[in-house]
Amino acid sequence: MLNRGEASSPVFDSIATGKSSCNTLTMEMDTHTQASAFLESMTLATHPHETIEKHLEVELAQVQSCFTRELTSDLQCVNTLVAHIERYRGKMLRPKLVLATSMACNSANAPLNHSHHVLATVVEMVHMATLVHDDILDDAQMRRRGYTVNHLDGNETAVMLGDYLISHAYHLCSSLERQTISRAIAQTTNTVCEGELFQLANRKNWSLDESTYFEIIRRKTASLCGICCQLAAELCECDQRVVEDMYGYGENIGLAFQIVDDLLDLMGTEGTVGKTLGRDIGKGKLTLPMIRFLKVCDQTSKPKLIKQLANQDTTPSPELLEELRNSVRSSGAADYAVMHARKLINQAKSHLMGLPQSPARAMLETMSESVLTRTF
């Protein structure tokens, strides 16, 4: 029987992305250099605002408590599964967006209340449900350097666990006085599902264009990030302009986050990223770097490559994956994707201009930049 601890897959020493000319994101550093650069950038950005960072940690602890209370069952088998997916809560991006936005929009500087904590918990539950279901769709074996639920306990258990998370998200959300929040979360979850279905409908569509790709990721990823910030601003009684700006901030963060995620799936290593990689290619899901590569590559050899991609198993061979990495890198397609992510982060930060200068606003700016420097 497989152990629920860390998977015993090989750990690589560096991210296999080669050399890049892009100044906005260096996907080609070795692992130690990347990690150091990331930690250094975060230290430099957050040191002047150490108090706000500690405040965020306190608020996240409240979210953790809310999460645990809501999901606790009288059945040990359920509690065991919930405990296993605790590792899925890695970056906590969505709860952080809710809490940091609430701090930045809180002109009275009042403490965050139970509604903020509930909203932050709900969006994380919805997100985790999508991760559990995504692992089924992708036949993934690893996430956060541990085995996935579907790998350990089968697809049936994983499906029901994802449903359990969704149902508890709605149950918890219904406790809020503002039912408009519940409706907004439900509508956004619908949008996320539509994005996933749209992506499934375009599997092995080797002529997928950029506009379709961006519509897919806008729905499946960016919509949830956008609603995190929008609803947080609404809870702070912000005017409509600020509410719309905060949605724009979150949406652009989500778009950039997904582009980087897609780059890591293609160019990263499991030891660094901590989850099964190459699944996008294996499942015939074209992402921005591959879309760009297929557009600029030698068109005479393109049919042969597409045939190779179409005939492969769900897990591409190491040889094919390495060949694709080298080709995508040398063609400039990886840099092209990074450039788009940088533009989106700049757009996200432009939506913060209407907020007063504060440590919380600075933290939102730092969070946006960290999307570009993440290695997992």
Q: Which domain holds residue 277?
A: 50-373
Q: Is residue 215 part of a domain?
A: yes
Q: Check which CATH number belongs to the domain holding 308 and give it.
A: 1.10.600.10
The label of the residue with tokens 């499906």 reads: 159
How confident is the prediction along the chain (376 residues), in pLDDT tens digits per residue?
Answer: 445 544 433 322 332 333 333 434 444 334 344 434 433 333 334 344 578 999 999 999 999 999 999 999 999 999 999 999 987 777 899 999 999 999 999 876 778 999 999 999 999 999 999 999 999 988 888 777 788 999 999 999 999 999 999 999 999 999 999 999 999 999 999 999 999 999 999 999 999 999 999 999 999 999 999 999 999 999 999 999 999 999 999 999 999 999 999 999 998 866 666 566 778 988 999 999 999 999 999 999 999 999 988 887 667 788 888 899 999 999 999 999 999 999 999 999 999 999 999 999 999 999 999 999 887 6
- The residues, any chain, with a CB within 8 Å of residue 62's CB and separated by 6 or more, are 117
Are the C-beta atoms of residues 224 and 95 closer than 8 Å to each other? no
Work out how many domains the chain is built from and give that number: 1
Residue 92 lies in a domain: yes
In a domain, 256, yes or no: yes
Q: Is residue 15 part of a domain?
A: no
* Residue 157: inside a domain: yes
**Helix, strand, or coil here: 109?**
coil
Question: Model pTM?
Answer: 0.85
With the CA atoms of 221, 224, 226 and 227 taken in that order, what torsion angle do they form, in degrees rounded to the nearest 10? 170
The contacts of residue 253 (CB under 8 Å, 6+ apart) are: 93, 97, 222, 225, 344, 345, 348, 367, 368, 371
